[in-house]
A = this chain, B = another copy of it.
Amino acid sequence: MPEFPPLQNDLILRTARGEATERTPVWMMRQAGRYLPEYQAVRAEHSFFEVVGTPELAATVTLQPIDRFPLDAAIIFSDILVVPQALGLEVEMVSGKGPHFPDPIASPDDLDRLVTPDVDDALGHVFAALTRTRHDLDGRVPLIGFAGAPWTLMAYMIEGGGSKTYNAARKWLYAHPDAARRLLQTITDVVVDYLIGQVEAGAQLLQVFDSWAGLLGPQMFRKFLFPFLEQIADRVKDACPEVPLIVFAKGAHHALDSLADTAYDVISLDWTMDPQAASLLVGDRAVLQGNLDPCALYADPDAIDREVQHMLAGFGPQRHIANLGHGMHPTHDPEHARAFIDAVHRHSEQMRAV
């Protein structure tokens, strides 16, 4: 493993490990992105996947929110769809529309088209970006690596892009359950190697994004999502026991109790979950992350302050990483992001002073 500058702010790592801390750490999903003019400036010159694929550009963009705001973590600028790319599928990012697979997986026969990648070859650009970013961060805050969860990646690979309901992918779980399991295992194997490789390249915390978990009911979650999410945590923990793992099963409100019993250290909650109810249910089995409604950042800064105070009161002062319940929007005002971050600093310190 390369030598990196010493870490100056380990607040999020200590919180993720369940230690009592002096303040609630804070970062924002999609904190590097289109709401920042300095990001737009980079994107004016380079395509989305050019930024993802060029370590220097990825590092630049990753550091932009860190230079601007007092955040407690950086998250590598990348995309969950690099794994389907590594599996041999073409993915384009269509401006204003999102990802598009020109040739998605249409039937179980198409699984033969997937390749078994050499992760260092196929995803080496992300590893290089992580190493470069970790150096450029100069120890200011920890660096988060991430991957998409098997179901969410499967949903994109079958649907061929974004969708409201991912019916084509959900159909597989009922019509082709064995092929679905085979595909989920193929993705899982790559995700495990990919996450371990990210740690070797410099990631200090890992998040697994199951963005479409909420499209399934409890029974399908138990059959097709949970076993693979659990497998990822177990295998990555075996290889990297010291690296905290975060799972974000967006919308899977019914899954909180079972996720709390896995090797994930942190469960990230979307904004439809009640912080207090979640804290009571999970107890000391996991640390919680989240979960302000991203749309709350459209309110004026005073209202944002009240929303944050309410959220922090729900989670309590300890065992909580402040975040949004989903990613930043392109139309957010950066100064409202600052209001969110400042409110977390101020109120979480006050809560401890009481």
Contact = CB atoms under 8 A, between A and B. Distances in A.
Contacts of A251: 214, 251, 272
Contacts of A175: 298-300
Q: Is the interface of A mostly helix, strand, loop or mixed?
A: helix
Given A175-B298, A175-B299, A310 B272 contact: no
A173 B296 CA distance: 8
A84 interface: no
A295 B164 contact: no
Contacts of A218: 272, 274
Nearest to A169: B295
**Copies of this chain in the oligomer:** 2
Interface in A267-301: 271-274, 277, 291, 293, 295-300
Contacts of A197: none
Nearest to A291: B217
Given A219-B310, A254-B253, A167 B274 contact: no
A297 B310 CA distance: 42
Contacts of A5: none
A-B pairs with lowest CB-CB distance, top 6: A174-B299, A170-B295, A171-B298, A217-B271, A175-B298, A253-B253
Interface of A: 162, 164, 167, 170-171, 173-175, 214-220, 251-254, 271-274, 277, 291, 293, 295-300, 303, 310, 325, 329, 331
